Structure 1
Amino acid sequence: MKTKLLYHTNSFTYECTATVVAVEGDDVALDATVFYPGGGGQMADRGMITWQGQDYPGSVIAMHKRNDVVWHTLDYPPPSIGTEVVGSIDWNFRYQMMRTHTALHILCGVIWKEFGVQVTGGQMYPDRARMDFAMENLDKERINYIEDKINQAVEADYPIRVYSLPREKAFAIPDLVRTKINLLPPEIAEVRIVEIVGLDLQADGGTHVNHTREVGHIHITKTENKGRINKRLEIMLESSL
């Protein structure tokens, strides 16, 4: 059993028709889904699953991915196996996550290009995001420099490409994995690549916009010292483009 991950091929897909292939309590597995289940610091999608004859929609209140199957937890008794359903995500939330995720890749790409330091952690929230770097110096001058550079990358409107490569070919690319620890499980044969053409190229499983200008202006709102060689930057995006 395997769920077709529609968000992997097109992050802008917000609705799909699918068939229930398994039910466990209030959890349902579908043969295909537009819902991103969370991971890599990106929050899981929100939304609804509806089916014929239902008077009101079942909200998806939690998600998890187990092996190759995405499970959707409903706040309503789930439909039976074989039922055709419609999955619809909260598009405004998804698009915010897409903009935020791409913003973090811009930040990561600029810092790698300028200082050659690796990522030690990261997390997205509904209104902000943070990323940690194996960096020793993060004074006010450097923060201002980084903010200028990341917004220059936004304005450059670099195109963003998403594609997959065989594992061996992917890992022949220098610096493909920017995290200090390689988080890619050894059983993954195909590696999904997110490339900001002209700036950054990384292994990544999340959702992204198509061009950097879609991200909008990025503000570095907070910095923290998380260790002698570990610094945290928190960012926020302007609410409207």
Structure 2
Amino acid sequence: MLWQGVQTRIVGTRKGDDLYLIPAEGDPLPPAGTTVTGAVEDTRRTLLMRTHSGLHVLCGVVFRDFGALVTGGNMEPGEARMDFNLPEVPPDFKARIEELVNTEVAADRSVAVRVLPRAEALALPDIIRTQSNLIPPDEQEVRIVDIVGLDVQADGGTHVASTAQIGKIRVVKVESKGRANRRVRVRLAD
């Protein structure tokens, strides 16, 4: 955030009765009542958009080709992991997934976002790609992200406008996380 010519970096948030911003350690704090302006760090935001959109491509490919739902995940700028309910994987799974994902990235698919009434959104086939429905029950509108021709799902994150903007994705590792759970770790290659 910017105030009186000074920048205070925000490194996190905490929810309570209000939303609290957590400043970077050592950064100056504005005096109470000071008008502040929010600013987005473009490099970090762009990396997050590319990474998040890449996870949608990964999810779409694994769902389409293996019928597996997402059981968990985590994302940092430029790298992430996604877990799938996938009991069996072929021996060449890592290389195959990387090739399939990068084929979809290179296809330059459009990424469209729209908001639908809850009932209309939930009527879409396979709109929930996680093993459990994470949409809060009192949410009356659902944001839909559509990687046209590959992946349509409810999602609240930020995305690139087309898959080509993601750039090449490396599948770093595929791990077994239980009898029917596989973790796929990815990293943006450029």
| d(CA) in 1 for partners of 2:16, 2:128 | 23
- Structure-2 residue corresponding to 1:184: 135
- Structure-2 residue corresponding to 1:87: 38
How do 1:110-149 residues align onto structure 2 when only pairs under 5 Å count? Answer: 110-149=61-100
Does the Cα contact within 8 Å between 2:50 and 2:78 map onto a contact in 1? Answer: no
Length, aligned pairs only: 187
Q: Percent identity?
A: 44
- Structure-2 residue corresponding to 1:63: 13
TM-score normalised by the chain length of structure 2: 0.91
1:114 to partner: Cα distance: 0.8
SS in 2 for 1:234: strand
1:173 to partner: Cα distance: 0.5
| d(CA) in 1 for partners of 2:19, 2:155 | 18
Change (3 A) 1:64 1:162: farther
| d(CA) in 2 for partners of 1:167, 1:63 | 28
SS in 2 for 1:89: coil
Change (3 A) 1:155 1:132: same
1:138 to partner: Cα distance: 2.2
| d(CA) in 2 for partners of 1:66, 1:216 | 38
SS in 1 for 2:138: coil
1:116 to partner: Cα distance: 1.1
1:146 to partner: Cα distance: 1.6
- Structure-2 residue corresponding to 1:108: 59
Change (3 A) 1:186 1:94: same
- Structure-2 residue corresponding to 1:18: none
**Once the two structures are superposed, what CA deviation does each residue of 1:107-152 show, in whole Å capped at 9, x if it has no partner?**
0001111111110001012341100000012233222222111111
Give the structure, 1 or 2, with the largest relative contact order (CA under 8 Å, sep 6 or more): 2
TM-score normalised by the chain length of structure 1: 0.72
- Structure-2 residue corresponding to 1:152: 103
Which consecutive residues of structure 1, in runs of 5 or more, have no partner in the other structure?
Answer: 1-48
**Once the two structures are superposed, what CA deviation does each residue of 1:85-119 show, in whole Å capped at 9, x if it has no partner?**
22112111111010000000000001111111110
Runs of 4+ in 1 over 4 A off after TM superposition: none
SS in 1 for 2:9: strand
| d(CA) in 1 for partners of 2:15, 2:165 | 29
